[in-house]
Protein backbone atom coordinates (compact mmCIF):
# COMPACT_ATOMS: atom_id res chain seq x y z
CA UNK A 1 0.00 0.00 0.00
CA UNK A 2 2.88 2.37 0.80
CA UNK A 3 4.54 1.73 -2.54
CA UNK A 4 1.24 2.24 -4.37
CA UNK A 5 0.57 5.51 -2.54
CA UNK A 6 4.05 6.83 -3.36
CA UNK A 7 3.63 5.81 -7.00
CA UNK A 8 0.30 7.63 -7.23
CA UNK A 9 1.71 10.80 -5.66
CA UNK A 10 4.81 10.82 -7.82
CA UNK A 11 2.65 10.29 -10.89
CA UNK A 12 0.59 13.43 -10.34
CA UNK A 13 3.16 15.61 -12.03
CA UNK A 14 3.15 18.24 -9.29
CA UNK A 15 6.13 19.76 -7.50
CA UNK A 16 4.71 19.92 -3.97
CA UNK A 17 1.93 18.22 -2.03
CA UNK A 18 0.69 19.96 1.13
CA UNK A 19 -0.83 17.90 3.95
CA UNK A 20 -2.77 19.28 6.92
CA UNK A 21 -2.20 16.17 9.04
CA UNK A 22 0.97 15.54 11.02
CA UNK A 23 0.14 11.84 10.85
CA UNK A 24 0.22 11.93 7.04
CA UNK A 25 3.49 13.83 7.04
CA UNK A 26 4.99 11.41 9.56
CA UNK A 27 3.89 8.47 7.45
CA UNK A 28 5.47 9.77 4.25
CA UNK A 29 8.66 11.10 5.85
CA UNK A 30 9.35 8.53 8.53
CA UNK A 31 7.39 5.31 8.04
CA UNK A 32 6.98 4.86 4.26
CA UNK A 33 10.73 5.05 3.46
CA UNK A 34 11.32 2.07 5.77
CA UNK A 35 8.95 -0.21 3.84
CA UNK A 36 8.92 1.27 0.33
CA UNK A 37 10.68 4.49 -0.71
CA UNK A 38 10.33 8.15 0.05
CA UNK A 39 8.21 10.08 -2.47
CA UNK A 40 10.12 12.00 -5.12
CA UNK A 41 7.45 14.68 -4.86
CA UNK A 42 8.09 17.21 -2.10
CA UNK A 43 5.58 16.75 0.72
CA UNK A 44 5.16 19.62 3.15
CA UNK A 45 3.05 20.09 6.22
CA UNK A 46 0.69 23.06 6.01
CA UNK A 47 2.76 25.00 8.54
CA UNK A 48 5.93 24.49 6.48
CA UNK A 49 4.11 25.65 3.35
CA UNK A 50 2.57 28.70 5.06
CA UNK A 51 5.89 29.71 6.60
CA UNK A 52 7.51 29.49 3.15
CA UNK A 53 4.85 31.86 1.77
CA UNK A 54 5.23 34.25 4.72
CA UNK A 55 9.03 34.21 4.50
CA UNK A 56 8.89 34.99 0.77
CA UNK A 57 6.31 37.75 1.44
CA UNK A 58 3.78 36.00 -0.77
CA UNK A 59 1.42 35.81 2.20
CA UNK A 60 1.04 38.98 4.24
CA UNK A 61 -0.26 39.15 7.81
CA UNK A 62 -1.41 42.76 8.28
CA UNK A 63 -4.01 42.21 11.02
CA UNK A 64 -2.89 41.95 14.67
CA UNK A 65 -3.94 38.93 16.73
CA UNK A 66 -3.74 39.99 20.36
CA UNK A 67 -2.80 37.68 23.18
CA UNK A 68 -0.11 35.52 24.74
CA UNK A 69 0.12 32.23 22.84
CA UNK A 70 1.98 28.99 23.64
CA UNK A 71 2.55 26.21 21.12
CA UNK A 72 1.97 22.49 21.72
CA UNK A 73 4.23 20.21 19.63
CA UNK A 74 2.19 17.29 18.24
CA UNK A 75 3.87 13.88 18.53
CA UNK A 76 3.30 12.95 14.87
CA UNK A 77 4.43 16.30 13.48
CA UNK A 78 7.46 16.42 15.77
CA UNK A 79 9.17 13.24 16.92
CA UNK A 80 7.41 10.94 14.46
CA UNK A 81 8.02 12.95 11.29
CA UNK A 82 11.79 12.64 11.56
CA UNK A 83 13.22 10.91 8.47
CA UNK A 84 14.68 7.48 9.24
CA UNK A 85 18.42 7.10 9.75
CA UNK A 86 20.08 5.36 6.80
CA UNK A 87 21.92 2.29 8.08
CA UNK A 88 23.56 -0.68 6.40
CA UNK A 89 24.67 -3.58 8.51
CA UNK A 90 23.73 -6.91 10.02
CA UNK A 91 21.22 -7.76 12.73
CA UNK A 92 22.46 -10.63 14.89
CA UNK A 93 20.90 -12.70 17.69
CA UNK A 94 22.59 -13.69 20.91
CA UNK A 95 21.41 -15.98 23.73
CA UNK A 96 18.62 -17.10 21.42
CA UNK A 97 16.50 -13.99 21.89
CA UNK A 98 18.50 -10.72 22.08
CA UNK A 99 19.22 -8.81 18.89
CA UNK A 100 22.06 -6.41 18.25
CA UNK A 101 23.42 -4.59 15.22
CA UNK A 102 26.83 -4.64 13.58
CA UNK A 103 27.87 -1.86 13.19
CA UNK A 104 25.76 -0.08 15.82
CA UNK A 105 22.53 1.22 14.38
CA UNK A 106 21.89 4.95 14.97
CA UNK A 107 18.69 5.71 16.86
CA UNK A 108 16.22 8.38 15.81
CA UNK A 109 15.84 10.86 18.66
CA UNK A 110 13.05 12.92 17.15
CA UNK A 111 15.20 16.04 16.88
CA UNK A 112 14.61 16.52 13.13
CA UNK A 113 10.83 16.76 13.18
CA UNK A 114 8.80 19.84 12.26
CA UNK A 115 9.41 22.29 15.09
CA UNK A 116 10.52 25.60 13.62
CA UNK A 117 7.81 26.37 11.03
CA UNK A 118 4.88 26.65 13.48
CA UNK A 119 6.97 28.77 15.86
CA UNK A 120 8.19 31.04 13.08
CA UNK A 121 4.60 31.56 11.96
CA UNK A 122 3.45 32.51 15.45
CA UNK A 123 6.37 34.91 15.91
CA UNK A 124 5.50 36.59 12.59
CA UNK A 125 1.89 37.40 13.54
CA UNK A 126 1.61 41.03 14.67
CA UNK A 127 0.26 41.63 18.16
CA UNK A 128 0.86 38.03 19.23
CA UNK A 129 3.20 37.35 22.15
CA UNK A 130 4.73 33.90 21.81
CA UNK A 131 5.76 31.94 24.90
CA UNK A 132 7.21 28.44 25.20
CA UNK A 133 5.83 25.61 27.30
CA UNK A 134 8.20 23.73 29.58
CA UNK A 135 8.14 20.46 27.59
CA UNK A 136 8.77 21.22 23.93
CA UNK A 137 10.15 19.86 20.66
CA UNK A 138 11.37 16.25 20.98
CA UNK A 139 10.56 16.38 24.69
CA UNK A 140 7.00 17.53 24.15
CA UNK A 141 4.31 16.00 26.37
CA UNK A 142 1.65 14.08 24.44
CA UNK A 143 -1.87 15.54 24.51
CA UNK A 144 -3.26 12.02 25.04
CA UNK A 145 -5.15 11.95 21.74
CA UNK A 146 -3.07 9.54 19.64
CA UNK A 147 -2.99 5.78 19.21
CA UNK A 148 -6.65 5.21 20.07
CA UNK A 149 -6.06 6.24 23.69
CA UNK A 150 -9.25 8.38 23.93
CA UNK A 151 -11.32 5.38 22.84
CA UNK A 152 -9.59 2.79 25.04
CA UNK A 153 -8.60 4.92 28.03
CA UNK A 154 -10.59 8.16 27.98
CA UNK A 155 -9.63 9.08 31.54
CA UNK A 156 -5.91 8.79 30.67
CA UNK A 157 -6.38 10.92 27.55
CA UNK A 158 -8.24 13.55 29.54
CA UNK A 159 -5.57 13.58 32.24
CA UNK A 160 -2.76 14.08 29.70
CA UNK A 161 -4.64 16.94 28.06
CA UNK A 162 -5.35 18.48 31.46
CA UNK A 163 -1.60 18.40 32.22
CA UNK A 164 -0.96 20.32 29.01
CA UNK A 165 -3.58 22.96 29.72
CA UNK A 166 -2.18 23.47 33.21
CA UNK A 167 1.32 23.80 31.77
CA UNK A 168 0.10 26.50 29.36
CA UNK A 169 -1.42 28.40 32.27
CA UNK A 170 1.81 28.03 34.25
CA UNK A 171 3.75 29.93 31.57
CA UNK A 172 1.07 32.62 31.43
CA UNK A 173 -0.47 31.66 28.08
CA UNK A 174 -3.97 32.89 27.32
CA UNK A 175 -4.13 30.76 24.18
CA UNK A 176 -2.70 27.35 23.25
CA UNK A 177 -2.03 26.70 19.58
CA UNK A 178 -1.19 23.41 17.92
CA UNK A 179 -0.80 22.08 14.38
CA UNK A 180 -2.68 18.78 14.66
CA UNK A 181 -6.43 18.30 14.41
CA UNK A 182 -6.35 15.42 16.92
CA UNK A 183 -4.38 17.48 19.46
CA UNK A 184 -6.76 20.37 19.01
CA UNK A 185 -9.80 18.15 19.55
CA UNK A 186 -8.32 16.42 22.62
CA UNK A 187 -7.25 19.68 24.24
CA UNK A 188 -10.59 21.32 23.45
CA UNK A 189 -12.50 18.40 24.98
CA UNK A 190 -10.44 18.69 28.15
CA UNK A 191 -11.22 22.39 28.24
CA UNK A 192 -14.97 21.67 28.24
CA UNK A 193 -14.59 20.73 31.90
CA UNK A 194 -13.14 24.21 32.15
CA UNK A 195 -10.98 25.32 34.98
CA UNK A 196 -10.85 29.07 35.44
CA UNK A 197 -8.47 30.82 33.05
CA UNK A 198 -7.93 27.75 30.85
CA UNK A 199 -6.24 28.84 27.59
CA UNK A 200 -8.33 28.99 24.42
CA UNK A 201 -7.38 26.28 21.91
CA UNK A 202 -6.44 27.17 18.33
CA UNK A 203 -4.93 25.67 15.22
CA UNK A 204 -1.94 27.62 13.92
CA UNK A 205 -3.63 27.76 10.51
CA UNK A 206 -6.66 29.52 12.01
CA UNK A 207 -4.42 32.16 13.58
CA UNK A 208 -2.77 32.72 10.20
CA UNK A 209 -6.22 33.21 8.68
CA UNK A 210 -7.14 35.76 11.33
CA UNK A 211 -3.94 37.70 10.68
CA UNK A 212 -4.25 37.53 6.89
CA UNK A 213 -7.96 38.14 6.30
CA UNK A 214 -9.80 41.41 6.86
CA UNK A 215 -12.25 41.17 9.79
CA UNK A 216 -15.88 40.68 8.78
CA distance 201 to 69: 10
Spell out where 46-139 has E strands.
67-71, 90-94, 98-102, 128-131
DSSP result, 146-181: STTHHHH-HHHHHHHHHHHHHHHHHTT-SEEEES-H
What pLDDT does 215 receive?
A: 64
Q: Is the pLDDT of residue 148 over 80?
A: yes
What total of structural domains would you count in the chain? 1
Q: What is the pLDDT of residue 156?
A: 93
Longest dimension (CA), the chain: 69
Q: How far is CA 170 from the centre of its chain?
A: 22
Q: What is the number of other CB atoms lying within 10 angstroms of the CB of residue 202?
A: 21
pLDDT in tens, 29-55: 999 998 888 899 999 999 999 999 999
Query: What would the mean pLDDT of 144-148 be, rounded to a whole number?
Result: 90
Distance (Å, whole) CA 92 – CA 113: 30
- 200 has pLDDT over 60: yes
Average pLDDT for residues 125-149, to the nearest whole number?
A: 95
Question: What is the pLDDT confidence band of residue 137, given thresholds at 50, 70 and 90?
Answer: very high
pLDDT number for residue 147: 86
What is the pTM for the complete model shown? Answer: 0.89
Inter-CA distances, 78 with 11, 21, 91, 123, 124, Å? 28, 12, 28, 19, 21
Q: What is the pLDDT of residue 99?
A: 93
Q: What is the mean pLDDT of residues 116-135?
A: 97
Range of the domain at 85: 2-212
Percent above pLDDT 70 for the chain = 98
- Residues 142-164, mean pLDDT to the nearest whole number: 93
Other CB atoms within 10 A of residue 157 CB = 23
Q: Phi and psi at residue 73, in whole multiples of 5°?
A: -75, 115
Amino acid sequence: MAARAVSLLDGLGVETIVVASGSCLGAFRSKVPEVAKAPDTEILHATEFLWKLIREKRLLLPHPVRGKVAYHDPCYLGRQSEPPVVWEGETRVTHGCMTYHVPDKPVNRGTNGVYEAPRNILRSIPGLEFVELYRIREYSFCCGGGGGVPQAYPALAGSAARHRLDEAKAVGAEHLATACHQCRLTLALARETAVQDDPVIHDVIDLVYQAAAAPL
